[in-house]
Amino acid sequence: MPDPSIDKINEELNTAKQVQLENVGALTRDQLTPEASANPQGHDVPGHDHAPTADTKPDAHAGHSHASGDDHDHGPAEASPYLWPGVSLVLLLSGLALDYFSEEVPFFTGAMRLAWYGIAFLLVGWKVIRSAIQSIPSGNVFNEFLLMSLATLGAFAIGEYPEGVAVMLFYTVGELFQDAAVNRAKRSIRALLEIQATEVTVVRGGQSLVLDPKQVQLGDTIEVKPGEKVALDGTLTQGPASFNTAALTGESAPQSKQTGDVVLAGMINQESLVQVLVTATYQDTKLAKILAMVQDAVGRKAKTQLFITKFAKTYTPIVVVLATLLLVVPYFVVDDYVFRTWLYRALVFLVISCPCALVVSIPLGYFGGIGAASRAGILLKGSNFLDVLREIDTVVMDKTGTLTQGVFAVQHVQPAPGIEPAQLLRLLGALEAKSTHPIAKAVVQHVGSAAANVSVENVEEIAGHGLRGRVEGRDVLAGNAKLLTKYGVAYPADVDQVVDSIVVAALDGQYAGYLTVADAPKADAQQTVRELRADGITKLVMLSGDKDSITQRVAKELGIDEAHGGLLPEDKARYVQQYLNEGRKLAFVGDGVNDAPVVALADVGIAMGGLGSDATIETADVVIQTDHPSKIATARRIARATHTVVWQNIWLAFGVKAVVLALGAGGLATMWEAVFADVGVALLAILNAVRIQRMKF
């Protein structure tokens, strides 16, 4: 069953406008979540707004509508994006040939010559002129459409028909180049869209129904056939099974899942028919949230983009005034003033001064950086975070689930005298089943079915301490030693000497024993530390709620500068605030619910997206889908490459324009040089920005 939303999204992706690339690929909220706003994102580049008219949609780009399938309409009818520019080019070249052989073709003069070049001009220029006119009622007068229209129509007014056509034709070719670059940059986003399942088989009342995923309710059971995508987040009720998770995590190796394991929307079932109990509605799946992050990302501007936007708003009216002065002032100071000569120079000045290279290549560069990061399994919630990532000098990381695997296993069971090990495990397993903490999962896995059907009620999770609840009618505490201290439960002194992670238990206010669990660093944890140091990070810190002895041991093993363990969420926030007060540019990397406040406090918050909690992922500025901490260094490399390319384009545009503006004002540059300074430099800048998409990180 085809999904009409995909066509709608593709159409939205194809509305890329040359001067509005920070919104390229932006998806409207209703295309991601049913309850989100249906209003399209606005386009706010000063000097480049498009006023909607009666025949345009509110979210369409006036004068630059794009047909589905990446067609870019530049002619009087819907056609291939290359058709009308191609026809215009043929007319221009043939017109130049007829001009050259004017003595042999005397008919190519007067009205015939004007009509010939006029048709060539209108095929590529009529929409630019229309956009210039439509922008006037909104007060957005001084934009590139006005500059292009004045310059090219002025060229026609003084009889320079070929040059007027050439300026508009090369401008159109520039847009085609840009469209190709944008299409390349947005492939990672389109790939995300295509991993959404369009239909799902739901088992209700013993019958199998094929429904839209949006119609499935919590608690429904869905069937996933081999080769099908999982449509909704849920719990595997019929296993074991193997899933391809590459679309979500970038990992090529399939993941094996057992009955009771979590499966996510976007995973592909590889082997036998499986059933999944739905635990999240369509709009609440991790996949839908990832898509929402992508939509948000292209709407946030980096500081460089904001600077160029403000610059263009001031720059455009200034060059119009200067061009007017270039036409008028010489009348009073030049003896042999010729109006046609100085009008030509003013028109050349206008063409050169178009800020196309800046307003096109800079957002495209940042969008390319976001696209490159997406392909590497890194989701940036805004191009501004590319700048912040490049500037950080301190990285503070959580331990469990960030630098370590977060996969614990019970190593030792030590019940208190008079307590049977099986009894202790059954009660702890039943209580810990109510928690999502990695240590709790390890206990549940170790206990297995022994804790099944055990009554548990009044469960309370105490941040940084553990759990409290009634199990089989008994008051049970399970957590660290601070939990027992909090409730006044005495315990043996040797418990504090245990180095490994520990779950201490109390029954009805009496010490009942403990379990030890162990975790191991991730395979790329040492690589992460090594690469961050080589990349200029001057301070690496580990903050953990785990025991300080374990935290120090892991920090020493990995070579981290500073480590603090046994911390509550407010303790982590205090350390981070201390580093910020020292003037450090800081990134915090975490995955747990208790990391969310610290992630929000840092200059840039980074969340582990695979094992991470929803609260932390939603709070973070950057999400690492693969759960590999080494991606932090990868994100830094992408940020630096993006910054380099963007500033290369800025200096290229300013340098060439400054030289040709001076030559044009002095009459040493013709309209052809003006075309290169405008469209040519824009093309070079676009091609330079595209390099980000080809770089290996």
Q: Helix or strand or coil: residue 564?
A: strand
User: What's the pLDDT band for 592 if we cut at 50, 70, 90?
Assistant: low
Q: Are 444 and 456 in contact (CB under 8 A)?
A: no
Please give the pLDDT value at position 42: 32
Q: Helix or strand or coil: residue 268?
A: strand
Please give the pLDDT value at position 527: 94
Please give the pLDDT value at position 490: 94
Q: Is the pLDDT of residue 555 over 80?
A: yes
- Out of 27-31, 119-123, 323-327, the most confident range is 119-123
Please give the pLDDT value at position 469: 94
Average pLDDT over residues 505-531: 91
Percent of the chain with pLDDT over 90: 24
Please give the pLDDT value at position 156: 86
Please give the pLDDT value at position 563: 95
Reply yes or no on whether 398 is catalytic.
yes
Q: How far is CA 655 from CA 17, 291, 539, 652, 678, in A?
A: 25, 39, 38, 5, 12
Q: How far is CA 491 from CA 426, 480, 487, 498, 501, in A?
A: 21, 11, 12, 13, 16
Cα-Cα-Cα-Cα torsion 526, 528, 534, 538, nearest 10 degrees, comes to: -100
Please give the pLDDT value at position 72: 39
Q: Are 520 and 404 in contact (CB under 8 A)?
A: yes
Average pLDDT over residues 491-519: 89
Q: If DSSP states are collapsed to H, E and C, what string results for 181-216? A: HHHHHCHHHHHHHHCCCCCEEEEECCEEEEECHHHC
**Greater pLDDT, 372 or 539:** 539
Please give the pLDDT value at position 181: 55
Q: Is the pLDDT of residue 289 over 70?
A: no
Q: What is the pLDDT of residues 6-44, one digit of tens each?
A: 343 333 333 323 333 333 333 332 333 333 333 333 333
Query: Is 0.75 topped by the overall pTM?
Result: no
Mean pLDDT of the chain: 77
Q: Is the pLDDT of residue 403 over 80?
A: yes
* Annotated catalytic residue, options 220, 398, 519, 678: 398
Q: If DSSP states are collapsed to H, E and C, what string results for 103-139? A: CCCCCCCHHHHHHHHHHHHHHHHHHHHHHHHHCCCCC
Q: Is the pLDDT of residue 64 over 80?
A: no
Average pLDDT over residues 340-347: 85
Q: Is the pLDDT of residue 514 over 50?
A: yes
User: What's the pLDDT band for 608 if we cut at 50, 70, 90?
Assistant: confident
Q: What is the pLDDT of residues 450-462, one digit of tens each?
A: 888 888 999 998 8
Q: Is the pLDDT of residue 356 over 70?
A: no
Please give the pLDDT value at position 478: 94
Q: Is the pLDDT of residue 404 over 60?
A: yes
Exposed / middle / buried, residue 583 (Cβ in 10 Å: 0-12, 13-18, 19+): exposed
Please give the pLDDT value at position 158: 75
Q: Is the pLDDT of residue 655 over 60?
A: yes
Q: How far is CA 679 from CA 172, 174, 175, 216, 659, in A?
A: 9, 6, 9, 51, 15
Lowest mean pLDDT, pick from 84-88, 279-283, 535-539: 279-283
User: What's the pLDDT band for 529 if we cut at 50, 70, 90?
Assistant: very high
